Structure 1
Amino acid sequence: MMAKDNTYKKENAFLVLAKRMSRNKNAMFGLTLFVILVLAIIIVPIVSPYQYDKMDVMAIKQGPSSAHLFGTDDLGRDIFTRVFYGGRYSLSISIAAVLFSTAIGTVVGAIAGYFGGAADTVIMRLLDVIQAIPSMLLTIIISAALGVGIDKTIIAIAVGTIPGNVRLLRGTVMQTRENQYLEAAEAIGCSTARRIMKYVIPNSWSPLIVSATMGVAKAILELAALSYIGLGVQPPTPEWGAMLAGARGFLRDYPYMLIFPGLFIAISVLCLNMFGDGLRDALDPKLKD
């Protein structure tokens, strides 16, 4: 009976969240546009008649046309195909970095917030040292130290956002740990690890979900910046930032080479921020139906 009640409560909470989200037109617009973008990123490279890395010396630097919707670059490669294929790298790397950062932030933040004392002091002082360095600068330093590579880029982007996730979850956990159901769980013999994983974290991570959603948008920008200065994804892989870097010498005469990759970066970031704002409002416990 208890299991059925818990299932009902979870489903009911999900329905309430979906209902609140549906009222937010900006959030739904952002989510819809982002889903369309993701589907296009998956489908377009498959159906495109061009390969993202195939060069055509007869089609070098051609403007947008019916044959090449976004034009071609300085090597005759189809920019339309490269933009959508590059979206796979931009989004997957950004999402992977945020998932890694969120996982580490969840564990460390839960430990700091639940136990407090010396563990909390040590963790927070270490975070103070890390956060004394600007996030983007820290990402560049780590990326330069680790070298190029997708896995190294994911780590570099993730490390800079871990402190914020730790602080965010720590504050929520410090409020959650005072609830009576934790005392009841302790009274019936639940281990500390079980209390944290089953009761503390699930009731504390709403702000972290919102932070992760907006964190993907930030990670897209950071990845583009790293690739632009030569520390992220390397050519000929068509990541959006790498495409901007390859086209910066042609801005005056062939601006379309930069416009389309930059436009897709802007659209992705805008959609995620709009959805994140709506998700934050929907998860706000102060809202009343």
Structure 2
Amino acid sequence: MLPTDPMKKLSFKRHISDGDLVIVYEKHDNMKAVKVSEKSVLENRFGVFKHSDWIGKPFGCKVSSHKGGFVYLLAPTPELWTLVLSHRTQILYIADISFVVMYLELIPGCVVLESGTGSGSLTTSLARAIAPTGHVYTFDFHEQRAIAAREDFEKTGLSDLVSVGVRDIQGEGFPKDLVGRADAVFLDLPQPWLAIPSAGEMLKEDGVLCSFSPCIEQVQRSSETLASNSFTDIRTFEVLLRTYEVREAKMDQCQTQTQTEEGTPGARPFKRKQRASEASNWQADNSGSPSVMARPSGEAKGHTGYLTFARLKCIA
């Protein structure tokens, strides 16, 4: 049974129990969320794993199958949950989420309003930031998405920190019982400028609003509306993340591969299978001297959206 104390739900400094949600780590690009049930088993290419063998073990442990294969049992942190959750809509990833949590100045005890909920990727991180005494009120106009998100928050032990509502924030605004209670508001809407006047009513003085938009035209219109609705310090950011691969490889083979990838003017990018095959050859070549090499990852995420922040003016 999950503990009733929200901090225990979020700390994961405990052992796995029957009914817990765990993230099964098979390899760096293959993880899945599994609810532990004493009579269930997990079957994959690494073997058969009995859930009963997991119960009582600490999060982060390595468990083996009868075939000798193994997996890791990880706690469902917001970062990992973002990677394994069901994508009901386009989601925010770690780079944008980290920036949003920091720039909204979230600390334990804050009250945050969010629209729309979508797949709940950001909501999960907002809840951890404001725990154990804060609260997130998140809204989605699509009832089935809201129901699915509510079920996910139950699975991850966040239901005490998150309230999910079905509401068209663009058309109706936020509920009036939340007026003046919010420390921060996050908008992920097609027409965020329609919700900005209502968001201003919900915010405390000096509260911060963030609007996520994929198109710069949305940013321009939102910024105009913010300026005319008592908001100041309006700023827009685009967060681009570049990851690197660091591993041991043979110098001669790496130089050849670098020339192939970068030395040919107008060369087309490698296909995914081609990159994966050549990456596996980093250690396959026996010629040359081994050395630790670093290079940009072959697959880097580009533009996701623009983050526009604004602060509600204080009344003099």
What is the TM-score normalised by the length of structure 2? 0.23
Larger proportion of helix? 1
Name the structure, 1 or 2, with higher relative contact order (CA <8 Å, separation 6+). Answer: 1
